[in-house]
Each structure stands twice: as structure tokens, then as C-alpha cells.
Structure 1
């Protein structure tokens, strides 16, 4: 959760420097996905084990969408490569953690 909050803070600061058109299109979409993932991860921490898998799957889907829209933002040259690289590195770490949690939860649910 701390890594995700830190990454969101990085994004929040970068979002302020996007062009107006990028900020109110892809920027808002990415921001909404960040917030959705934060909410879902928070909920998953306090959800009973038998309901946790579904929440983590939703978080993972939103997380993948977030990375996809961030890539589009970079491909349209709306964000500098160094900023995209910084966010991508943070997101890769978060993705590994989320994937591990998802795998562990799925294994526990199967038993």
C-alpha cells in the first residue's frame, strides 16, 4: 500500500505539468484508475479471505488499465520519458507485489 501511495504522489505531481488537453483526458482517466486501485487494495486488506480474491482481481485489472493508459500518455509525448520511466519502475514493483498477493490468495482459495 505504501508503494502505491508513493507512486500516486509522484503521479499527482507530474499530472500538474501535463498540457490541459492531456490532463483532462488521459490524466483524469489515469488518476481515477489510481484511486480505484488504492480503494480496492485498501478494501482487500480488511476483507474476509473468501471474498478477497475477487477484489484483488478487480484491482489487478484496474492496475493493468492504469499502466496501459500511462503508456498511451507517453506514446503521445504528453509525458517525458524520464517521468514515464520513473512511474513505470514504481508500477513494476507494485505489480510484482500485487501479483504475488493475488497468486497467494488464489492458491489459498483453491484449498
Structure 2
């Protein structure tokens, strides 16, 4: 049961990361009026990713140290996205 949870959640996290990267790249290459829309989508995807990572910890599917590292990395990404979004909306 645990292996199945770990596999399905791991696959879901992988897909979320790839989607997040895709949305960030689209925002980078989008014209200024469209950047905010891609950044909002990326922000939502990041929130879902953070919840999935938290679920890893709650279900004790991975090492706590690794989860805390992932959480700090996602927080940093969130700060960067927030700053970029604020900057794109003020222009």
C-alpha cells in the first residue's frame, strides 16, 4: 500500500513540477500583457505542489529532511513568482 501511495504521489509531483516549469517558461516568453496570466497559473500549480509535498510528510512516505529541503525550495520559488507577478502587474 505504501509503495503504491509513494509511486502515485511521486508521479503526480513530477507532473506538477513539469507543468510549473512549462508555465514559467511560457510566462518568460509571453508578451507583457499575457505574463500575469501565466504567472497566476504557475502560482496555483505551485500551491498544489506544496500540498502534495506536505502529504508526503503526513503519510511518512519519504525522509523528513528531504521534505523540509523541498519545502524550503518551493517557498523560495513562491517568493520569486510573487515578486515577478507583482512586477508584471505594476507595469
Do they superpose with TM above 0.5? yes
Corresponding position of 1:91: 74
d(CA) in 1 for partners of 2:14, 2:57: 15
SS of equivalent to 1:79: coil
Corresponding position of 1:16: none
| Aligned pairs (5 A) from 1:1-111 | 20-108=3-91
Give CA-to-partner distance per residue, 1:15-52, whole Å, 9 cap, x none.
xxxx6313332111111100000001011111000111
Q: For structure 1, list consecutive stretches of 5 or more residues without a partner in the other structure.
A: 1-18
Query: TM-score, normalised on structure 1?
Result: 0.76
Q: Which consecutive aligned stretches of 4+ in structure 1 deviate over 3 angstroms post-superposition?
A: none
RMSD across aligned positions (CA)? 1.1
Query: TM-score, normalised on structure 2?
Result: 0.92
SS of equivalent to 2:9: helix
d(CA) in 1 for partners of 2:89, 2:34: 11
SS of equivalent to 2:61: coil
Please report how far the alpha carbon of residue 94 of structure 1 lies from its aligned counterpart in structure 2 after TM superposition: 1.0
